[in-house]
Amino acid sequence: MPELPEVETMARDLAPLLTGATITEVWWDWDNVISYPDPASLRGVVVGRRILSVRRRAKWLVFDLNDDRSLTMTVRMTGQLFVLPEGTAHDKHVHLRLTLDDGPVAGGRVVEGPRWLLFRDVRKFGRVGLYRRADDGTILGEGDEGELFGDHGPEPLDDDFTVRRFRERLRRRRGRLKTTLLDQSFIAGVGNIYADESLWRSRLHPLRSADSLNTEQERRLYQAVRAVMGEAIDRRGSSVDDYTAPEGDGEMQEHLDVYQRTGLPCHRCGRPVRRFELNARGTHFCSWCQRLPAADRTTSNLALVRTSRRSARRGRSWSELGGPEATNERAH
């Protein structure tokens, strides 16, 4: 599932292509792709509205429209977004299509001819919603009640997310470190790839108790999360399996230290990277660099460690799988 860096890359790719465009039509072939409101109501509201900006919150894309409305999109496991000229052939896995007028976009550039924003999703986990937006930019929930992202934690790259704030939140947690990092109510946007990478960089075992770290270890983990996220954004995210951005693949997958490097030498000590399943998620670590403290060597933790293996398994990027042309061929 695309994480913060991948969704941020999508938002940055889409912003100059969509900002200033007016939505002239909405097409869908599967009602459930629109989570709120019902598809006909969404179409009735967004047609004729202009896209003011494209941004990200956590793992969601937010398209701010005029008149205090915002479209939200989560691509989940296999969702992809493309901006193509109107009439471009596409396969059966495109389930939502926004038609945009020709006209000025960000930077005053004029786009000639209508175009489509295509939402393609093979496994149909992605969702689109339409919500009211408060004056401060907060997206309100269904029926304009509460905040849509109210259960999400702070953004790890925000200036006000300090090491002190991170430390205070971490010390209130009682679970395993990796499980804590994946909890979107703790901090927003961290997923499986960057949790593994952050823990490796900070030399902390994924099964360690979140409230057992000393001050220095807390600082290392805080810095690792922010550094990994920043580098991944600079490299346009990790293009593994289905992820690709509107303007092409990322390259962070070529610079990962442990994720999907099972059996390969650790970049720090040279010992094989190991992998085990934690809550149905592959977890990658170095057993030498990331030691499990004695206090956390519980029966359940040791059972998980014993299942760790060294055999290599690595997914291919979407371009390596053939990109849109090969995907279209497989669909027919």
For residue 143, the 8-state DSSP code is G
Domain membership of residue 250 (yes or no) is no
Active site residue 265: no
Domain membership of residue 157 (yes or no) is no
Same domain (yes/no): 83, 207: no
The residue out of 92, 115, 144 marking a domain boundary is 144
Domain membership of residue 267 (yes or no) is yes
Partners of 282 in the beta sheet? 277
Q: How far is CA 210 from the centre of its chain?
A: 23
Same domain (yes/no): 188, 140: no
Same domain (yes/no): 134, 28: yes
Structure token pair of residue 62: 């937010």
At 327, which helix (H) or strand (E)? helix 323-331
Active site residue 86: no
Please state the domain count of the chain. Answer: 2
Partners of 22 in the beta sheet? 50
- Catalytically annotated residue among 55, 124, 219, 281: 281
Same domain (yes/no): 111, 138: yes
Can you give the pLDDT at residue 234? 97
Structure token pair of residue 205: 């075992």
Same domain (yes/no): 190, 135: no
- Catalytically annotated residue among 2, 5, 156, 206: 2
CA-atom Rg of the chain in angstroms? 21
Task: Please provide residue 55's backbone torsions phi and psi, each rounded to the nearest 5 degrees.
Answer: -145, 180
Return the biggest CA–CA distance within the chain.
Answer: 65
Same domain (yes/no): 178, 80: no
The residue out of 109, 144, 179 marking a domain boundary is 144
Domain membership of residue 227 (yes or no) is yes
Domain that holds residue 182: 163-234+261-306
Same domain (yes/no): 140, 173: no
Same domain (yes/no): 138, 206: no
Active site residue 2: yes
Domain membership of residue 210 (yes or no) is yes
Same domain (yes/no): 8, 96: yes
User: Could you give the C-alpha distances from 92 to 1, 54, 323, in angstroms and in order?
Assistant: 21, 26, 15
Can you give the pLDDT at residue 242? 80
We report the CATH number of the domain holding residue 274 as: 1.10.8.50
Active site residue 8: no
We report the CATH number of the domain holding residue 34 as: 3.20.190.10
Nearest-angstrom CA–CA distance, 21 and 49? 9
Domain membership of residue 254 (yes or no) is no
Domain membership of residue 43 (yes or no) is yes
- Catalytically annotated residue among 56, 59, 133, 236: 59
User: Could you give the C-alpha distances from 317 to 171, 177, 249, 312, in angstroms and in order?
Assistant: 37, 28, 8, 16
Counting Cα atoms < 13 Å in the Cβ hemisphere of 148 gives: 29
pLDDT of the chain, 332 residues: tens digit per residue: 899 999 999 999 999 999 999 999 999 999 999 999 999 999 999 999 999 999 999 999 999 999 999 999 999 999 999 999 999 999 999 999 999 998 766 667 777 789 999 999 999 999 999 999 999 999 999 999 999 999 999 999 999 999 999 999 999 999 999 999 999 999 999 999 999 999 999 999 999 999 999 999 999 999 999 999 999 999 999 988 788 888 889 999 999 999 999 999 999 999 999 999 999 899 999 999 999 999 999 999 999 999 887 754 554 444 444 454 444 433 33
Same domain (yes/no): 177, 134: no
Can you give the pLDDT at residue 93? 97
Same domain (yes/no): 138, 168: no
Domain membership of residue 200 (yes or no) is yes
Same domain (yes/no): 24, 126: yes
The residue out of 81, 111, 144 marking a domain boundary is 144
